[in-house]
C-alpha cells in the first residue's frame, strides 16, 4: 500500500451471516461483537499509592441476530431443539463486505447455539416488518487476518550450526 493512500472504513450495512459456512437468512441487524478482558485488581501491602491491575480471563457477550420473519423456520427449529434439551453447537460467522461485495472482515463464533428467542412487536397501526431476534451463546470469538484486507510480508531465516569435539584419554596400569 502506498504511503498516504486513503483507507475508507467499510459500510456497516453490507454484511452477511454464515452458519456452518453457508449463508443464512438475510439479517437486518447484528449485535454482540464484543470481547472484553476482565481486569483483576491487586493491592500490595505497604503500597497505598497505586493498585496493580492484571489481565484476567476474556469475556464474550452473546451474539444477537435480528431478521424479518418468513416461512423458513430452520433457526426456530434449532432453538426449539435447545429448549427440549438437544443442544447442537454450530460455528457462525459474521462477514463485513466492502461496497463491491468483497469480503473484508470476518468474525468467527465457535460452537454457538441459540439461548434466547424474541418474537416481533405486532401493532395494527404500524407499517413495518415483523422482526424476530435470536441470541446465541458461543465458546469464543476470532477475527482472522485476510491478505486482501492487510498487506504484510513474512520472512523467516534460520541457520543451525553444530560442532562437537570429543577427546578420550585412558591409561591402564597393571
What CATH number corresponds to the domain at position 92? 2.30.110.20
Asked, for residue 157, whether it belongs to a domain, the answer is no
Q: How far apart are CA 42 and CA 52, in angstroms?
A: 5
User: Measured in whole angstroms, how far is the alpha carbon of residue 36 from the centre of its chain?
Assistant: 12
| Count of domains forming the chain | 1
- For 103-144, strand residue ranges (E) read 103-118, 131-137, 140-142
Asked, for residue 161, whether it belongs to a domain, the answer is no
- Domain housing 124: 15-142
Asked, for residue 4, whether it belongs to a domain, the answer is no
Q: Are the CB atoms for 97 and 76 separated by under 8 Å?
A: no
Q: How far apart are CA 82 and CA 86, in angstroms?
A: 5
pTM for this entry: 0.74
The 10s digit of each residue's pLDDT in 6-62 is: 888 898 999 999 999 888 878 999 999 999 999 999 888 877 788 989 999 999 999
Asked, for residue 32, whether it belongs to a domain, the answer is yes
Pairing assessment for the beta strands 52-60 and 103-118 based on DSSP bridges: unpaired
| pLDDT (0 to 100) of residue 5 | 84
Asked, for residue 31, whether it belongs to a domain, the answer is yes
Share of the chain above pLDDT 70, in %: 82
Asked, for residue 128, whether it belongs to a domain, the answer is yes
Q: Which three cell numbers stand for residue 99?
A: 461496497
Asked, for residue 112, whether it belongs to a domain, the answer is yes
Q: Are the CB atoms for 137 and 65 separated by under 8 Å?
A: no
Locus of grid cell 489481565? 55
Distinct helix (H) and strand (E) counts, the chain: 1, 10
| pLDDT (0 to 100) of residue 37 | 93
Which residues have C-beta within 8 Å of that of residue 7, sequence separation ≥ 6?
1
Q: Are the CB atoms for 116 and 8 separated by under 8 Å?
A: no
The half-sphere exposure of 173 on its side-chain side, counting CA atoms within 13 A, is 0
Asked, for residue 166, whether it belongs to a domain, the answer is no
Where is average pLDDT lowest: 14-18, 90-94, 113-117, 166-170? 166-170
Dihedral of alpha carbons 29, 21, 107, 60, sign:
positive
Please determine, for residue 135, whether its predicted confidence score (pLDDT) is greater than 80.
yes
Higher-confidence residue of 158 and 5: namely 5
Amino acid at each position: 500500500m502506498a504511503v498516504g493512500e486513503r483507507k475508507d472504513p467499510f459500510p456497516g450495512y453490507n454484511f452477511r451471516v454464515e452458519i456452518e459456512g453457508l449463508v443464512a437468512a438475510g439479517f437486518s441487524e447484528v449485535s454482540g461483537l464484543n470481547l472484553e478482558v476482565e481486569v483483576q485488581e491487586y493491592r500490595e501491602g505497604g503500597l497505598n499509592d497505586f493498585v496493580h491491575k492484571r489481565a484476567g480471563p476474556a469475556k464474550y457477550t452473546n451474539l444477537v441476530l435480528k431478521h424479518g420473519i418468513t416461512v423458513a423456520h430452520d433457526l426456530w427449529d434449532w432453538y426449539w431443539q435447545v429448549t427440549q434439551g438437544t443442544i447442537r453447537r454450530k460455528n457462525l460467522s459474521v462477514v463485513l463486505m466492502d461496497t463491491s461485495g468483497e469480503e473484508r472482515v470476518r468474525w468467527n463464533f465457535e460452537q454457538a447455539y441459540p439461548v434466547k428467542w424474541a418474537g416481533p412487536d405486532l401493532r395494527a397501526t404500524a407499517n413495518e416488518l415483523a422482526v424476530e431476534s435470536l441470541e446465541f451463546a458461543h465458546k469464543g470469538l476470532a477475527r482472522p487476518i485476510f491478505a486482501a484486507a492487510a498487506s504484510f510480508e513474512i520472512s523467516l531465516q534460520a541457520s543451525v550450526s553444530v560442532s562437537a569435539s570429543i577427546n578420550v584419554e585412558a591409561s591402564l596400569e597393571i
